[in-house]
């Protein structure tokens, strides 16, 4: 087996939310080892400027590249929205984002070609989902809405409180009035709000989880590049790293991953080798 196939998949996020992507990748590719970096010292990315997000994403990717991963997944929607072209230019390894798979899945699910997208302020400001949806289908209509209150609510564990449902109703009602039949959950944290979102949008609106779409995209792409692990069946390991104190990670990770995870190691960014400029 080529030695590249044995290498880990690197996944990074602004913090802990990216474990929703790790969860889907681990489910879809159970043999693969995963190295996860949560930039918990600098979370959130969703309120930061594009230049800052690009710089952080380069530093995160450099850390994973130095661990000799075979591919990098940008689990963070905000970083995917702003940094992907720079990462493709600067790093000589396959880099995957969550936006394109989510956009493609939304177009497969919609029947009336009216698609809603929710995400952080920075993701929505980037227009990345609309742009990719329109490249794939110029006639589709996209209705996007920034939902900045949702990340802190999920991190507090308020996923099914009346207050959260009321905020969600506020955010989602204008999209529903536009007649969307598909809603892209364009943020690492939103899969945890699925039951609450479902209770507001009803059963006729398809919910697209970009974490799930990304894992499927990754499986197909790595297989085409002959980079998938092949060999005796086994359970791949998940090795977490964080840039801040490990306490909060342990508290939150169970909910995002849906399983126990080993204790993360703390690291300091940037590692030597990044100058951080786009």
Q: Does 120 bind ligand DGL (CB under 6 A)?
A: yes
Binding of ligand DGL by 76 (CB under 6 A): yes
Query: Which one of 58, 76, 147, 214 is the catalytic residue?
Result: 76
Segment contacting ligand DGL (CB under 6 A): 41-49, 192-200, 224-232, 268-276?
A: 41-49
Among 11, 43, 133, 222, which residue sits at the site for ligand DGL (rule: CB under 6 A)?
43
Quote helix, strand, coil % in the chain, to nearest 5.
45, 15, 35
Active site residue 76: yes
Whole-angstrom Cα Rg for the chain:
18
State which residue, 5 or 158, has the beta carbon closest to ligand DGL.
158
User: CB under 8 Å, gap of 24 or more: what pairs does 86-93 form?
Assistant: 86/54, 86/57, 86/58, 86/278, 87/57, 87/58, 87/61, 90/58, 90/61, 91/61, 91/62, 91/65, 93/65, 93/69
Q: How far is the CB of 125 from ligand DGL (least distance, A)?
A: 12
In b/e form, how buried is each residue of 210-224, taking b as 16+ CB within 10 angstroms? bbbbbbebbeeebee
Q: Is 274 in the site for ligand DGL (CB under 6 A)?
A: no
Considering only residues 11, 12, 17, 23, which one is a binding residue for ligand DGL as defined by CB under 6 A? 17
Q: Judge whether 147 counts as a catalytic residue.
A: no
Site membership for ligand DGL, residue 44 (CB under 6 A): yes
Please say which residue, 172 or 228, places its beta carbon nearer to ligand DGL: 172
Dist. CA 79–CA 73, nearest whole Å: 11
Question: Near ligand DGL by CB under 6 A, which window of 73-81, 126-134, 165-173, 223-231?
Answer: 73-81
Is residue 8 near ligand DGL by the rule CB under 6 A? no
Contacts of 102 (CB under 8 A, 6+ apart): 129, 184, 186, 208, 209, 210, 213, 214
Nearer to ligand DGL, 157 or 273 (CB): 157
Q: How many Cβ atoms sit within 10 Å of the Cβ of residue 110?
A: 22
Name the site residues for ligand DGL (rule: CB under 6 A). Answer: 13-15, 17, 43-46, 76-78, 119-120, 123, 151, 187-189
Active-site residues: which are they?
Answer: 76, 187
């Amino acid at each position: 087996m080529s030695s590249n196939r044995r290498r880990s998949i690197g996944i990074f996020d602004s913090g802990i939310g990216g474990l929703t992507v790790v969860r889907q990748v681990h489910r879809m590719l159970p043999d693969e080892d995963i190295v996860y970096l949560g930039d918990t010292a600098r979370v959130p990315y969703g309120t930061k400027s594009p230049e800052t997000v690009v710089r952080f994403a380069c530093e995160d990717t450099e850390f994973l590249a130095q661990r000799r991963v075979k591919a990098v997944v940008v689990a963070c929607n905000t970083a995917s929205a702003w940094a992907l072209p720079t990462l493709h230019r600067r790093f000589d390894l396959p880099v995957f984002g969550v936006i394109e798979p989510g956009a493609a899945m939304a177009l497969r699910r919609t029947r009336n070609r009216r698609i809603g997208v929710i995400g952080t302020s920075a993701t929505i400001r980037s227009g990345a989902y609309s742009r990719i949806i329109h490249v794939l289908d110029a006639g589709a209509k996209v209705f996007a809405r920034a939902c900045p209150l949702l990340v802190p609510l999920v991190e507090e564990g308020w996923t099914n409180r009346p207050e959260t449902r009321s905020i969600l109703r506020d955010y989602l009602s204008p999209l529903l009035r536009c007649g969307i039949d598909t809603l892209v959950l364009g943020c690492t944290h939103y899969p945890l709000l699925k039951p609450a979102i479902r209770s507001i949008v009803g059963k006729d609106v398809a919910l697209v989880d970009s974490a799930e779409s990304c894992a499927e995209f990754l499986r197909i792409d790595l297989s085409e590049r002959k980079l998938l692990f092949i060999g005796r069946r086994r359970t791949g390991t998940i090795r977490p790293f964080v840039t801040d104190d490990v306490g909060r990670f342990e508290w939150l990770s169970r909910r995002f991953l849906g399983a126990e995870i080993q204790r993360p190691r703390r690291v300091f960014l940037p590692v030597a080798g990044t100058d951080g400029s786009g």
